[in-house]
Structure 1
């Protein structure tokens, strides 16, 4: 039986919640606001009263059917979010009730994500959120921060965990530093001690990457970006966190040091990738392709622990002044939130669940 706060159990019994669902793949119009029974946490699970839900590109791609076949008759979307633990299942410390948390991978292998007033997740997918960190920050972590962590910890001679000093002496190139993952790459790499260079497409995105903490920003559409990056890193870049491999591969290889690593988490623009085998043999290039769904529990756990430590140090702030504008929608406009992400909204798209 789930443990809830003693003064709330009678009020919660039989309670109905609001949730966003879809039953068929399609455009944002398939998303529907409905009433659903309050879920009960099972063994090893916690129920969270969601305050803010984060929207990622993978959420709309899953909804559209672009990535995987639909595994459940009805799905509540969104992997990420933040809120307060409301109840715990068997085997979970009852002291967690009332704990502020950020959530990750909520819909991995289950049909109920964070686009609802309450959601149930494995206890380890609800990470304590310090009192000084707001729910907006918590809902902006998840996919972007864990992806950034993985990208920064796969080099052959680099660290497998992040902490202050872990990347001392390293040069990290954050492609697309104005995006949510690029923003997290900049912040985590700087927290870990790296020199951070970010490539952007224009002055506004340069301003955002600088606000995120990039030491140097290079507009890849102007002049000779490879020469500019080489002037900043004469020995070459140690690691590239790449969002558009097809479009940026030539630049990446022009600035990568021997035995450097290119961590690829997307291919924005879908330009085909062609490899010059001899060039990469001579460089001893390491390519790491990554997606959180199949990265493995060990990597997710390590990432969540290190990201939580960075949050505790105040290293991952969000908002316009920190390089990641927040674009907000109420729960009943979740479809519009999906449209914004699909259209390439700059910043982090959030859904306010608590009214």
Structure 2
């Protein structure tokens, strides 16, 4: 048997539970992985409430939480090449990351570099890879100015660092409590909330060249007003709205190649994961509450004992 943190239906925290379940069996192109660490993301609790990704299959219950994980390969399924039992890997799980065991598809799984911890590797497939994809989509030249909304979160903090590394000037919108953190990433902090666009404009009178939005809603609408060309507006927080405003959703690559590139950036010191809090699997509910209630700074990770 294998322990996993699941939701047994759509709803609030009352549908969550730590359960024992059968160890999953890898199919073609899949790896059975003993999980060492799993990243915690807002999409985890959103899926519990009934949110569905475009094109996804209907949920079946119980569903294991978690969309990114790192661990050690225990077994390989048919038609798998390039992986073997004992390999240290990270990627996007098919059967949830908040568990002692999960299945990873080889198409979105990479070998973990020796210089990267399981804890740091576990936060790369969603947050860091989304930031990487977004920055590649924008294709900003050195010297351009980028506004990142939600700059204190997992994706936002990675986007700020990647932009800064590329020579792009970054304005980071985040709460006042995250000012020091955002500035430590290399951004000029502006306080989020109503009127933040005016504060961003004042922080860079020369204008904003692009916006990487991670909040959606009114924040996205206000940020869009800063741009002369809406084509330089992308969002991972309001996919339908950003299209209505003339921008585009972040185009996710979701490939092993991107995971390898992001991991190399971390090992080289160009990108820090900023894991600020870890919980054991038994504390998965607490970890999820911290992210759901917006109290988490940087990245939150569930560490599973080997």
Task: Select the residue among 279, 286, 296 that pairs with 1:336.
Answer: 286
Q: Which runs of 5+ in 2 are unaligned?
A: none
RMSD between superposed Cα atoms in Å? 2.9
TM-score (norm 1): 0.74
Task: Select the residue among 225, 241, 263 that pairs with 2:199.
Answer: 225
Q: Over residues 176-216 of structure 1, what are the superposed CA-to-partner deviations in whole Å (9 max), with x where a residue is unaligned?
A: 211111101112222333222212231x31111122232x2
- How far did 1:58 drift? 0.8
Structure 1 Cα separation of the partners of residues 12 and 88 of structure 2:
33
Q: Is the 8 A contact 1:191 1:310 kept in 2?
A: no
Aligned position for 1:44: 29
Aligned pairs for 1:94-109 within 5 A: 95-104=83-92, 106-107=93-94
Aligned position for 1:121: 104
Q: Is the 8 A contact 2:121 2:263 kept in 1?
A: no
- How far did 1:225 drift? 0.9
Q: Which has the larger radius of gyration?
A: 1
Q: Secondary structure at the match of 1:241?
A: strand
Q: Please state if 1:300 is matched with 2:250.
A: no
Q: Please state if 1:131 is matched with 2:119.
A: no
Structure 1 residues 19 and 305: alpha-carbon distance in aligned structure 2, compared to 1, 3 A threshold:
same
Aligned position for 1:183: 157
Structure 2 Cα separation of the partners of residues 87 and 274 of structure 1:
42
Is the deviation greater in 306-315 or in 204-213?
306-315
Q: Please state if 1:146 is matched with 2:118.
A: no
Structure 1 Cα separation of the partners of residues 28 and 182 of structure 2:
43
- How far did 1:92 drift? 2.0
Q: Please state if 1:206 is matched with 2:179.
A: yes
- How far did 1:126 drift? 1.9
- Aligned residues, how many? 298
Q: Is the 8 A contact 1:29 1:335 kept in 2?
A: no
Structure 1 residues 55 and 227: alpha-carbon distance in aligned structure 2, compared to 1, 3 A threshold:
closer
Aligned position for 2:42: 57
Structure 1 Cα separation of the partners of residues 114 and 285 of structure 2:
31
Structure 1 residues 136 and 226: alpha-carbon distance in aligned structure 2, compared to 1, 3 A threshold:
same
Aligned pairs for 1:1-355 within 5 A: 16-67=1-52, 70-93=58-81, 95-104=83-92, 106-107=93-94, 112-155=95-138, 158=139, 167-202=141-176, 204-214=177-187, 216-220=188-192, 224-231=198-205, 234=206, 236-249=207-220, 251-258=222-229, 261-267=232-238, 286-290=246-250, 299-301=253-255, 303-319=258-274, 326-347=276-297, 348-354=299-305
Structure 1 residues 190 and 102: alpha-carbon distance in aligned structure 2, compared to 1, 3 A threshold:
farther
